């Protein structure tokens, strides 16, 4: 028999990613909000049915895995909000710029400090799946800013809808303080009525001066954003299966965490911000790369010594 938590979350699971709670008769089927609602239904369903999300909703979430999910969100929102800041006066995105109401980076820093301590920046790393997501967001912000609408819609509307369910589940399952430590990401202090704000946001989306071709590209990009999220979920699920209750997970051994996603030398080189020489020097300073270099030098030296015997 399922526990009381599982029964409660089972009911909540059915509404987790449904952003459009009520019908609005004033909208047209050609409005961007309607195109996104209809055009991402399949992606909604797929995201709902990832193993990570299903386990999360049933309260089957380990603390270390929740911490890693918070790290992934930090890198994602750092990139998204940086690109939104860069495009805050661009007419293709400006009406959707709500930094006071929506931005999550500072809230995520509070959560990371709670989980990892004051030196949290030294303890986190950006996973491979998250890095792919970050790279796409930064590409869009710099080259196709109109598509930022898709990434903002996918993230923030979800945070204000299903994210509120996840907040309650995490607080209960992980026995987090009732004062909100560890779940500040889900707390929107400057939005008094989430439903009204979402209606305002959709109205602003519909008022953007976009032709049908651009709207279709935004819907396509929203589906791409869902796929990136699902790849992060799948990555977390694989890690979760390898964790034991006693294990102190070390995180993702891929990219070193920084406040600014652009500081990753690999990513900077991909964007042409630094030359290959400087990228190589920056990479050589990474601890893992240094260890590999020392190992290679030692192997070469040992081989040479053997031939001289």
Extract the annotated binding site: 37, 44, 153, 202
Comparing CA positions, the residue from 26, 15, 3, 9 lying closest to residue 199 is 26
Q: Name the DSSP class of 27.
A: -
CA–CA dist 62, 21 (Å, integer): 30
Q: What residues contact 55, with CB distance under 8 A and at least 6 apart?
A: 61, 237, 240
Angle at 207 between CA 206 and CA 211, to 5 degrees: 80
Comparing CA positions, the residue from 165, 160, 139 lying closest to residue 16 is 165
Run of H or E including 173: helix 162-173
Q: Name the DSSP class of 256.
A: E
Name the 3-class secondary structure at 60: coil
Q: Do 261 and 75 contact (CB within 8 A), yes or no?
A: yes
CA–CA dist 2, 97 (Å, integer): 43
Q: Which residues are annotated as a binding site for heme b?
A: 37, 44, 153, 202
Q: How does strand 255-256 pair with strand 125-126?
A: antiparallel
DSSP secondary structure string for all residues of 233-255:
HHHHHHHHHH--SS------SSE
CA–CA dist 121, 243 (Å, integer): 23
């Amino acid at each position: 028999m399922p526990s009381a938590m599982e029964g409660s979350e089972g009911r909540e699971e059915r509404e987790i990613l449904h952003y459009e709670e009520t019908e609005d008769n004033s909208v047209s089927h050609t409005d961007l909000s309607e195109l996104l609602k209809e055009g991402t239904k399949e992606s909604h369903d797929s995201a709902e049915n990832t193993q990570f999300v299903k386990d999360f909703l049933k309260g089957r979430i380990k603390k270390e895995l929740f911490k890693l999910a918070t790290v992934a969100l930090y890198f994602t929102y750092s990139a998204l909000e940086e690109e939104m800041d860069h495009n805050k006066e661009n007419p293709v995105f400006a009406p959707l710029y709500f930094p006071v109401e929506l931005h999550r980076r500072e809230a995520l820093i509070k959560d990371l400090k709670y989980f990892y301590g004051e030196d949290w920046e030294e303890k986190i790393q950006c996973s491979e799946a998250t890095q792919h997501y970050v790279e796409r967001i930064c590409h869009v912000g710099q080259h196709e800013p109109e598509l930022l609408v898709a990434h903002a819609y996918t993230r923030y509307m979800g945070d204000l809808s299903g994210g509120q369910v996840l907040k309650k589940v995490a607080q209960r399952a992980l026995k987090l303080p009732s004062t909100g430590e560890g779940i500040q990401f889900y707390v929107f202090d400057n939005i008094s009525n989430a439903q009204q704000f979402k209606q305002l946001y959709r109205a602003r989306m519909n008022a953007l001066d976009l032709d049908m071709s651009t709207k279709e590209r935004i819907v396509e990009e929203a589906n791409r954003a869902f796929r990136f999220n699902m790849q992060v979920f799948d990555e977390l699920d694989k890690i979760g299966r390898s964790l034991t209750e006693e294990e102190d997970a070390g995180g993702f051994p891929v990219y070193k965490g920084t406040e600014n996603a652009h500081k990753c030398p690999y990513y900077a080189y991909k964007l042409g911000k630094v030359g290959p020489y400087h990228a190589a020097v920056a990479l050589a300073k990474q601890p893992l790369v240094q260890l590999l270099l020392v190992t290679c030098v030692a192997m070469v030296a040992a081989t040479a010594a053997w031939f001289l015997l």
